[in-house]
Structure formats: structure tokens, C-alpha cells
């Protein structure tokens, strides 16, 4: 027989976990929107990520309710409520962002969700792509034997004058940051960017690895100095703070460069060359060069952020033979290492010290400003850009924006 008691063990109605966040919470909205754009729909997984990323305790049932309140629906419900023509146009718009035609249905679907928040089924995306660009499927088919005769695309964004430098987590392949800078061969700049990554991550890695180049010597020195200052318990002989390897052995970043080139680098080069071929951009004219060196870094930084967001949230195929994470996104693997048997090796450092070193090394915004762009011109270009109320800067609109701004800046 069950016993009963009228004793109230919690007369105040409060519990140890605190109040559950409502759908109006900006922090919760931002987090759920980010997971949604990363095609994460499992409520249990979202509950775990909320705790790992933001310290938010919320059970899966409440997560489901909050997602419904915010209108964050999966592909099945979206396909039922979204007009088919509108859905088709969403796919076509995303395909227009890939003039190099490197991206298949899985990537297009993921990028579309990241850009618009709409979840479409993979079958619908594939059918739409095959209807409007059947040749693209043949071009991407790894078993195709036909020799495709087409214009050779330059090796990368360095070819058009916009170098990139990035940091990738070796264990998970997660992009920590990516910068479009005037030069990726200056040691001071590279060391400064490393400190930016440390500050953003809230700690320093157990070990950094780079190619053996003169531009990384200051990074090496700073990594070692931070280790000596804050982690004397780590044996530098067994685990050096920084290791130099040949580029062919620096696998994490080399594989990541390939994806960057395929997902937006090649398309950016094609678009840039097209502007020159069509006579829109005349690099021998100083005013053209000045506007180009202001506008294109702005676009490429936007594309780089979009690339990192989608790449980090892209779920890889499950492969039980692969060491390390699979069957999950890089964000999930990084935030919750136990999903794949990993551990958190980020080492705490005094971030105030990191900021002081950054301030000592920094030239302010000059470090990121391209040669022909002065501070005065940058302010003027910002004002003109804002006055034009540009809704979306993309590869398909960048030269239209260029033509609209040019006469306003140089009447």
C-alpha cells in the first residue's frame, strides 16, 4: 500500500536550477536560431548544447516547446507550409552563390538553411538542382571520366590580392577564425591574430602547429611565453607549446583550405575576374583600386564568416573506422567532446594580459586596412554604403554595388 504525506517539501515553489528561460530571452533565441540554421533539430542534443555553450539548463520537452514558439520548424513541416515555387527559388538563389558549381545537394541544403533559416528536404533540393543544372551533377560526379574543358581557376584568393589566414582546431576540424588581411606573411600580424583567437576562445590551446615560415616565429614566441607564464606544470619537452611541421603534414588546416576554396574561394575568383573582363573594374585607375580594396575585403570577410558558420555546423557522415568525431557537426564535437570520446584541453590564461599584449602590438585598424585605403576614405565609403541601403552584399551583387558607389565617392 502506498503511503502519502501532506508535508510540502518545497513551500516556496523554487528549485535549485533557477527559472527556465522563456522564448523572449535574447540569449535563448540566438542560441536556438543558431542551432536551427545548423540543421540541428534533435531536442535532446539541443538541450545538451545549450548547457555546454551557454550554461542553460533546459529539458528536451521545453526545448521543443520553445522552438515551436519561435517558429523553428523542420523540413517536413516547412515543405508543407512553404509554397513550392518559393522553395524552388530559394534553392536557385543559393545555387547562384556558387558559380564554380562545386556544391552538391547536401552542401546547398545546409548553406540555404544557414543563410535563410529554411529547412528543405534533401530530395527536393536535389530534384531542383538536377532540373535546372543537370550538367552540374555530371561535373561533380567522382566516377565521371569525361575530360571537362573549361577555364582554369587561379589557385586562390592570393591571386586576386586578398590573402587569408585562419586557425582550425586539430581534433575536431572546427574553424576558430578566419581573417582577410593585407598580408599573411607578416609575423606581427600573425601573432596578433593568434592572440585574438586566444581571447575569443577564452584560453590557449595545449599546443599550436604551423608551417615553418618566418611569419610564424613571433606566434611561436608568444605561445611559449604564455605557457611559461601560466602553465609551468606542463613539460615543454614532452608537449611543446608550438610545433613546426611541413605543410603536407599539417593536415587539419590543409584539408580546410580545400573546402574554403571549393565552397567560396573559386567562385570569388571567377566573380572578381569577370568584373575586370567586363570593364567594370579598371585596376590601373587609382579610384577603382581604392574602392575595390575597401569593398572586396568587406565582401570576403562576410563570405568567410558564412563559410565558417556553415562548415562548423555541417554534420559529417558517420564513419566508425575514423579516429575522432564523425556523424556530428564540428560545433557539436568541439562543445561536447564526450560525444566522440574526446577531452577539453583548452588552457586558462589571464585574458587581461592577452589584451595588454594585443594593445602593445596593434596599429589599430591599420593592421587590417588594405594599402590604398586610408582611414578618411574608409569613413567616407562606410557612409556612402549605408546611404545606399544595400540589403545583401554577395558575389552576385558586388559589382553592382561597386558601380553605384564609384560616382558617389569620386564625382
- Measured distance CA(192)–CA(243) in Å, rounded: 18
Give the mean model confidence (pLDDT) for residues 94-98.
88
Let me know: does 342 contact 262? Beta carbons within 8 Å.
no
Give the mean model confidence (pLDDT) for residues 44-71.
96
Grid coordinates given for 40: 540541428
Distance of CA 346 to the CA centre of its chain: 20
Reported as a single tens digit per residue, the pLDDT across 4-21 is 344 444 444 443 445 789
pLDDT for the residue numbered 337? 95
- Measured distance CA(329)–CA(46) in Å, rounded: 12
pLDDT at 348 over 70: yes
Full DSSP string of 357-393? HHHHH-BTBGGGS-TT--HHHHHHHHHHHHHTT-S--
**C-alpha distances in angstroms, 143 versus 130, 138, 140, 309?**
17, 9, 9, 30
* Stated pTM of the model: 0.82
pLDDT at 151 over 50: no
- Sign (positive/negative) of CA torsion 310, 315, 319, 320? positive
Reported as a single tens digit per residue, the pLDDT across 17-41 is 457 899 999 999 999 999 999 999 9
Cα angle at 304 between 41 and 72, to 5 degrees? 20
Kindly give, in sequence order, each residue whose CB lies less than 8 Å from that of residue 63, ignoring residues fewer than 6 positions away. Answer: 32, 43, 46, 47, 50
Question: How confident is the prediction for the chain on average, in pLDDT?
Answer: 88
Give the mean model confidence (pLDDT) for residues 89-107.
89
- Measured distance CA(400)–CA(388) in Å, rounded: 12
pLDDT for the residue numbered 10? 41
Could you give the percent of the chain with pLDDT greater than 90?
A: 73
Let me know: does 74 contact 56? Beta carbons within 8 Å.
no
Reported as a single tens digit per residue, the pLDDT across 323-340 is 889 999 999 999 999 999
Least confident span in 9-13, 111-115, 362-366: 9-13
Give the mean model confidence (pLDDT) for residues 124-142.
81
pLDDT at 221 over 60: yes
More confident residue, 321 or 191: 191
Q: At what angle do helices 286-313 and 26-37 cross, to 10 degrees?
A: 90
CB atoms within 10 A of CB 122: 13
How confident is residue 136, by pLDDT bands cut at 50, 70 and 90? confident
pLDDT for the residue numbered 27? 95
- Measured distance CA(381)–CA(290) in Å, rounded: 10
More confident residue, 135 or 205: 205
pLDDT at 102 over 90: no
Cα angle at 256 between 275 and 391, to 5 degrees? 40
Amino acid at each position: 500500500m502506498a503511503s502519502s504525506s501532506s508535508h510540502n517539501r518545497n513551500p516556496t515553489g523554487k528549485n535549485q536550477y533557477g527559472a527556465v528561460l522563456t522564448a523572449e530571452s535574447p540569449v535563448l533565441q540566438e542560441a536556438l536560431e543558431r542551432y536551427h540554421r545548423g540543421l540541428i533539430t534533435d531536442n535532446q542534443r539541443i538541450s545538451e548544447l545549450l548547457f555546454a555553450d551557454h550554461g542553460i539548463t533546459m529539458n528536451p520537452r521545453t526545448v521543443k516547446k520553445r522552438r515551436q514558439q519561435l517558429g523553428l520548424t523542420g523540413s517536413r513541416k516547412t515543405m508543407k507550409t512553404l509554397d513550392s515555387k518559393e522553395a524552388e527559388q530559394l534553392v536557385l538563389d543559393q545555387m547562384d552563390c556558387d558559380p564554380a558549381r562545386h556544391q552538391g545537394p547536401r552542401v546547398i541544403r545546409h548553406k540555404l538553411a544557414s543563410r535563410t533559416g529554411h529547412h528543405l528536404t534533401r530530395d527536393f533540393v536535389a530534384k531542383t538542382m538536377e532540373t535546372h543544372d543537370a550538367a552540374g551533377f555530371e561535373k561533380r560526379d567522382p566516377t565521371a571520366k569525361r575530360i571537362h574543358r573549361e577555364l582554369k581557376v587561379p589557385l586562390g584568393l592570393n591571386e586576386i590580392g586578398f590573402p587569408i589566414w585562419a586557425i582550425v582546431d586539430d581534433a575536431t576540424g572546427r574553424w576558430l577564425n578566419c581573417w582577410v588581411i593585407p598580408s599573411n606573411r607578416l609575423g606581427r600580424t600573425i601573432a596578433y591574430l593568434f592572440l585574438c583567437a586566444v581571447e575569443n576562445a577564452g584560453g590557449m590551446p595545449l599546443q599550436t602547429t604551423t608551417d615553418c615560415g618566418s611569419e610564424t616565429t613571433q606566434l611561436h614566441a608568444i605561445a611559449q611565453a604564455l605557457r611559461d607564464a601560466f602553465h609551468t606544470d606542463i613539460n615543454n619537452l614532452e608537449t611543446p607549446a608550438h610545433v613546426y611541421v611541413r605543410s603536407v603534414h599539417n593536415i587539419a588546416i590543409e584539408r580546410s583550405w580545400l573546402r574554403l576554396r571549393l565552397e567560396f574561394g573559386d567562385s570569388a575568383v571567377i566573380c572578381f575576374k569577370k568584373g575586370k573582363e567586363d570593364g567594370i573594374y579598371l585596376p590601373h585607375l587609382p579610384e577603382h583600386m581604392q574602392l575595390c580594396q575597401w569593398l572586396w575585403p568587406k565582401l570576403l570577410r562576410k563570405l568567410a564568416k558564412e563559410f565558417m558558420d556553415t562548415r562548423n555546423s555541417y554534420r559529417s557522415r558517420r564513419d566508425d573506422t575514423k579516429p575522432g568525431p564523425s556523424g556530428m557537426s564540428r560545433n557539436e564535437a568541439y562543445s561536447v567532446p564526450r560525444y566522440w570520446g574526446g577531452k577539453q584541453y583548452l588552457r586558462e590564461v589571464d585574458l587581461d594580459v592577452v589584451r595588454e599584449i594585443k594593445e602593445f602590438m596593434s596599429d589599430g585598424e591599420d593592421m587590417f586596412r588594405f594599402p590604398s585605403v586610408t582611414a578618411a576614405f574608409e569613413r567616407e565609403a562606410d557612409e556612402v554604403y549605408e546611404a545606399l541601403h544595400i540589403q545583401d552584399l554577395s558575389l552576385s551583387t558586388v559589382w553592382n554595388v561597386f558601380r553605384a558607389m564609384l560616382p558617389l565617392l569620386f564625382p
